[in-house]
Amino acid sequence: MSIEDIGCCGAYCGTCPVIRAGACRGCKTGYRSGERDISRARCRIKICCIRKGYQSCADCTDYESCGTIQEFHHRNGYKYKKYREAIVFIIGNGYDRFLKITDGWKNQVGPY
């Protein structure tokens, strides 16, 4: 479990077998080191977070007023609600507590 496995939007990639097999670098890994080029990324949430030096939108003081993340987090579908729950949890409790909880998860979202 690593903070690198937390997607900028709150999706948790640390449980994914593809990442564990080393076949995917997930949302964030490689941008800070220069191995990946953020100008080639397509996700607006990720582009914004990485350019601002954040680990996720939980670090952003504009989270509640940001149309980009709020539109994403309020889409129809269970996973979007859970991504929002993850970011709100991290804002209130920090990354370490979030990562401890994800220890028991089987998917990119899970119970608290």
Paired strand residues for 12: 6
Contacts with ligand SF4, residue ranges (CB under 6 A)? 7-9, 11, 27, 43, 45-46, 48-49, 52, 54, 57, 60, 62-63, 66, 68-69
Output the six-digit token pair for 28. 């964030």
Q: Do 102 and 12 touch, CB atoms closer than 8 A? A: yes
CB of 60 to ligand SF4, least distance (A): 3
- Least Å from the CB of residue 8 to ligand SF4: 4
User: Which is nearer to ligand SF4, 62 or 96 (by Cβ)?
Assistant: 62
d(CA 12, CA 67): 22
